[in-house]
């Protein structure tokens, strides 16, 4: 007589399936935030890399021309816009909406209607905390006394309601580059500081695009991520060209 063998199991029980599904759901719940954070970090790093490459082009342009681009003029031949000044160091193609220069765009910027995703420092300070009405025109590099401490370029606002798109791109995507590039600058306090209640929002800076902060390129060519409060601190945008060589006096007064 042959011994009796139990019948082979044909599959999982309902309870076992529910347990497996619950474990998978738990793992997904644990992994998704980490994956999302990794993607955000990757986009922020890509943006920072783009700013570093712009910094290389800016350094090359300054060395070649002995001029630092700042506020752009609408008159051809005067105060060239940063996007036009630096493009030859990336591409020989012109009038392509800067599609041949992907470094001009931030991977995290949500508004693709804008061709440029960075703004340049065009502040014209007369003394610490005091901004002239006129914007800062291009100037010789020897007027910059604290380049490693002065923000040169930073992340452009999301413009989520397309207010600036509608104002700057008069012919939509057929607008000529020269009529667009002159606008991507920062020259007033309302461009970097969030408005108090009741004031109109004039931000051109996005101070917290990347995990509580934003990316910035400095006048010495290095790029770094700064917290929101540092991005909105006017002192970090002040190039102190008003010192006109009196740096030692400024340093003494600053640290008293």
70-102, pLDDT tens digit by residue?
998 766 667 899 999 999 999 999 889 999 999
Alpha-carbon distance 241 to 224, whole Å? Answer: 23
pLDDT at position 241 over 80: yes
pLDDT of 255 reads 37
pLDDT at position 256 over 50: no
Q: What is the pTM of this model?
A: 0.81
pLDDT confidence tier of residue 124, bands split at 50, 70 and 90: very high
Alpha-carbon distance 89 to 136, whole Å? Answer: 24
pLDDT at position 251 over 60: no
Alpha-carbon distance 237 to 125, whole Å? Answer: 9
Alpha-carbon distance 56 to 54, whole Å? Answer: 5
pLDDT of 200 reads 53
Tell me the residue ranges of DSSP E strands in the chain.
Answer: 118-121, 125-127, 130-131, 151-155, 185-186, 213-218, 223-227
pLDDT of 40 reads 77
pLDDT at position 197 over 80: no
When the pLDDT of each residue in the chain is averaged and rounded to a whole number, the result is 85
Give the residue with greater pLDDT, 122 vs 249. 122
pLDDT at position 229 over 90: yes
Q: Tens of pLDDT along 11-31? A: 667 777 778 888 888 777 776
Whether the Cβ atoms of residue 85 and residue 61 lie closer than 8 Å to each other: yes
pLDDT at position 247 over 90: no
pLDDT of 77 reads 65
pLDDT at position 204 over 60: yes
Whether the Cβ atoms of residue 78 and residue 249 lie closer than 8 Å to each other: no
Q: Tens of pLDDT along 133-156? A: 778 889 999 888 899 999 999 999
pLDDT of 46 reads 94
């Amino acid at each position: 007589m042959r011994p009796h063998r139990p019948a082979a199991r044909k599959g999982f029980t309902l309870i076992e399936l529910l347990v497996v599904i619950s474990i998978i759901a738990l793992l997904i719940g644990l992994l998704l935030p980490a994956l999302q954070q990794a993607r955000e970090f990757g986009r922020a790093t890509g943006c920072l890399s783009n700013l570093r490459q712009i910094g290389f082009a800016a350094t090359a342009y300054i060395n070649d021309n002995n001029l630092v681009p700042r506020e752009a003029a609408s008159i051809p031949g005067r105060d060239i816009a940063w996007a036009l000044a630096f493009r030859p160091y990336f591409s020989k193609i012109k009038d392509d909406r800067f599609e041949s220069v992907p470094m001009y765009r931030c991977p995290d910027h949500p508004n693709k209607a804008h061709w440029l995703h960075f703004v340049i420092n065009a502040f014209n300070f007369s003394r610490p905390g005091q901004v002239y009405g006129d914007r800062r025109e291009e100037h010789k590099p020897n007027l910059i006394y604290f380049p490693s401490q002065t923000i040169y370029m930073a992340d452009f606002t999301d413009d989520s309601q397309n207010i600036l798109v509608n104002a700057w791109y008069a012919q939509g995507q057929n607008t000529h580059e020269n009529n667009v590039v002159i606008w991507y600058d920062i020259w007033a306090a309302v461009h970097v500081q969030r408005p108090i209640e009741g004031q109109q929002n004039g931000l051109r800076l996005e101070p917290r695009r990347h995990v509580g902060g934003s990316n910035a390129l400095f006048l010495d060519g290095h790029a770094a991520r700064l917290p929101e409060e540092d991005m909105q601190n006017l002192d970090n945008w002040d190039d102190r060209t008003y010192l006109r060589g009196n740096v030692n006096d400024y340093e003494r007064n600053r640290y008293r």
